[in-house]
A and B are shown apart, each in its own frame.
Chain A
């Protein structure tokens, strides 16, 4: 089950549509769990890793994946090999991911892009790595062609995600 937790107010109808896209992509249920708030001491731009660690907990079961949506900007990560532009952060192979919708007017207008980013973060939660296919949602998100693509996986990533979901403990 995918649980979408909003960290600000979003339109309910648009959220419903967003959940439907994720349901189609992964073949598992997706629902909006409810709006919650981040601790007030976290300042903009948010440190994604820190924000995810301090995000409010929601009731979930084994193999549930929780996706936090925030309209706040995330800070680019300084990595040993360079700076990685950051729109989201996922705990690889675990159960929590944070996605920023900063720069998107609303979920209706930028639904394709937000869904594509969400699919990538959820894919990381199911142990999918970055893909070589520019049309796949698992392609590195900082490339210029990424926003143009559809919210869909390539054959390899779709098969792998399906396999991971099938092998889930629950």
Chain B
């Protein structure tokens, strides 16, 4: 395979591969003025339909433009197709991401991996529309490049691929999800161990380990305190606050704001009702009859009563 990091020397009439576009022929390398800048452009013509593409020469390597594969590269591709590495990713998200990356990078091996991976997956179940389209695109680009590399008809190039993927006189095997799952599980376990780094020490936050330290300090006599402090590994951050004995006996701390302390009376009282609080009534008031509405009756003086008797 050609080295991607190496500078690409292109001359007119060279056949190159533009990632995701296919085989193109270099028709010109000429300086042009674009937006006040003078740049050298490589003009390509797509062989399939004659579409014109212009690429700044400085970006030729960055976009993944490369020369058409050699017959040796093609031989390695056929060897890869023949190899019994029938892996298929059952996680559709992961699969889609990987396939898009392979297509964007534009390598011949990447295209072959997409074709083979999806062909193997189709032995399990029919491909969804998007993946079927991706398979078709990858196959189209692969066949076009193989045809250009081997200087043969596209029909021959396609049959050369399919003679391997669909061997003559043999039906494709029917696969089950279990086959793929078992393989994925084994690979997943290996990956998890590496990623998690289970053999290294985990550093826990200081607050969570504080109670054990305190307990040790309480149990140990005063003489052993210093030794215990020396033996215990020092932790980063603020030292834990000493907690009262009640707090230790209490249930483990919950996150968030601590609950307000409620007085005993309040606990005994009935739950509060909404609205205006009722007025406090005196015992006498409760005994008295209910007040009548309207103007209060006039207070009658004793003198007035006497005057009335005189008139009579």
Contacts and interface: CB of A to CB of B under 8 A. Distances in A.
A133 B78 CA distance: 23
A144 interface: yes
Interface string A66-95: 000000000001011111110001111100
A132 B135 contact: yes
Interface string B97-140: 00000000000000000000001001000110100100110011
A80 B168 CA distance: 15
Contact of A89 (B74, B75, B155, B164): B155
A84 B166 contact: no
Nearest to A156: B132
B178 interface: no
A130 B119 contact: no
Q: What does DSSP make chain A's interface, helix, strand, loop or mixed?
A: loop
A147 interface: no
Nearest to A76: B168
Interface residues of B, number: 35
B153 interface: yes
Nearest to B146: A80
B123 to A, nearest CB: 9
A81 B170 contact: no
Contacts of B129: 156
Contacts of B214: none
B127 A84 contact: no
Given A49-B153, A81-B78, A144-B169, A132 B163 contact: no
B158 interface: yes
A85 B159 CA distance: 10
B122 A132 contact: yes
A130 B122 contact: no
Contacts, number: 85
Contacts of A143: 166, 168-172
Interface residues on A, range: 20 to 34
Contacts of A83: 163, 168
B161 A92 contact: no
Contact of B153 (A82, A92, A132): A92
A80 B74 contact: yes
B75 A80 contact: yes
A56 to B, nearest CB: 20
Contacts of B139: 129-130
Nearest to A121: B155
Interface in A133-150: 133-134, 139-140, 142-145
B155 A90 contact: yes
Nearest to B78: A81
A91 B153 contact: yes
Given A77-B156, A82-B168, A92-B153, 11 more contacts: A89-B155, A92-B158, A129-B143, A133-B126, A139-B166, A140-B162, A142-B166, A143-B166, A143-B168, A143-B169, A156-B136
18 contacts: A49-B153, A49-B156, A77-B159, A81-B78, A81-B163, A82-B164, A83-B163, A90-B155, A91-B153, A129-B136, A130-B162, A132-B119, A132-B126, A132-B132, A140-B166, A142-B169, A156-B129, A156-B136
Interface of B: 48, 74-75, 78, 81-82, 119, 122, 126-127, 129, 132, 135-136, 139-140, 143, 150, 153-156, 158-164, 166, 168-172
